[in-house]
Amino acid sequence: MPQVSKKTLKIRGELLDLSIPLVMGIVNLTPDSFYSGSRLSSLDSVLDRVGVMETEGATFIDIGGYSTRPGADHISISEEIDRIQSIIEPLTKNFPNLIISIDTFRSEVARVAVKHGADVVNDVSGGLLDANMFDTIAELGVAYILMHMRGTPQTMNQFTEYDRLIPDILKELKIKLDLLRSKGVSDVLVDPGFGFAKTISQNFELMNVLSQFILLGCPLLVGISRKATIYRTLHITAAEALNGTTVLNTLALQQGASILRVHDVKSAVEAVKLWMAVGGIN
């Protein structure tokens, strides 16, 4: 089984143990995210959903105010900030044991979110869409999720041509990782970016050799929950894609994933427990 050299993440000045895989629950404060079950708008609905996720075993909650589904509408920075800033602080007060992640590719939004209590910045663009992001992360001193993407959420499906899929993605991530480390950012999770500038067949190829990304020396985060790779392959809808999600999450665990980012926390936590029970170890 592949081994990752780093099995911890520094959160709030303390080391979080990642030797047993953890689960990140998704909360979208957007009206157009691809899976309707994750869309929330009011504070009460968010608190209710997060309360359930905590009970089900989530360690992280990922809050997003900008939909990054393919072809999603572009919104202004001010609108994105408006969606997230009134939500994050109540979450930190009501759920002090949860780790709050802000899903944004904009440094200004990241700064506001961290000010209100976010502990992690989850950047789907890996610094590609905001030249100030890496410096901002270094200044804020928070953990960072470096994801692979090409283009923008509106154009990424036009950038699926690779010379060699896995080496190209590894190279692009390595360049950014080196830059982050040169700026003193050491707490980095790597997300290979399932569904972002990748075709369905490329996503399956990526899953098949996911363990190669451990060569980057960072814990792996996998976010494939209810995505088109699952529901289009099975000719179903996103709402029907839980079983397929569980199958691919389990394969990701076998390939060394340290964090599963999911819409359905209970199922992911159960997958981790059963995988561990049969001798799984990252």
Percent of the chain having pLDDT more than 70? 92
Would you give the distance in Å from CA 18 to the centre of its chain?
A: 15
Hey, what are 256's tokens?
């060394």
* pLDDT value of residue 45: 85
Q: Using DSSP, state whether 123 is helix, strand or coil.
A: strand
* Residues annotated catalytic, as ranges: 227, 261
The backbone torsions φ and ψ at residue 15, rounded to the nearest 5 degrees and listed phi first, read -85, 125
Domain 8-277 in CATH: superfamily? Dihydropteroate synthase-like (3.20.20.20)
DSSP 168-192: HHHHHHHHHHHHHHHTT---EEEE-
Average pLDDT of 31-53? 72
d(CA 195, CA 190): 15
How does DSSP classify residue 120? E
Name the residue ranges covered by the structural domains of the chain: 8-277
Q: Are 49 and 27 in contact (CB under 8 A)?
A: yes
- Token digits of residue 147: 């994801």
Q: Convert the pLDDT of each residue in 90-113 to its tens digit.
A: 999 999 999 999 999 999 999 999
Per residue in 110-168, pLDDT (tens digit) is 999 999 999 999 999 999 999 999 999 999 999 999 999 998 877 888 889 999 999 99
Question: Phi and psi for 222 in degrees, rounded to 5?
Answer: -120, 125
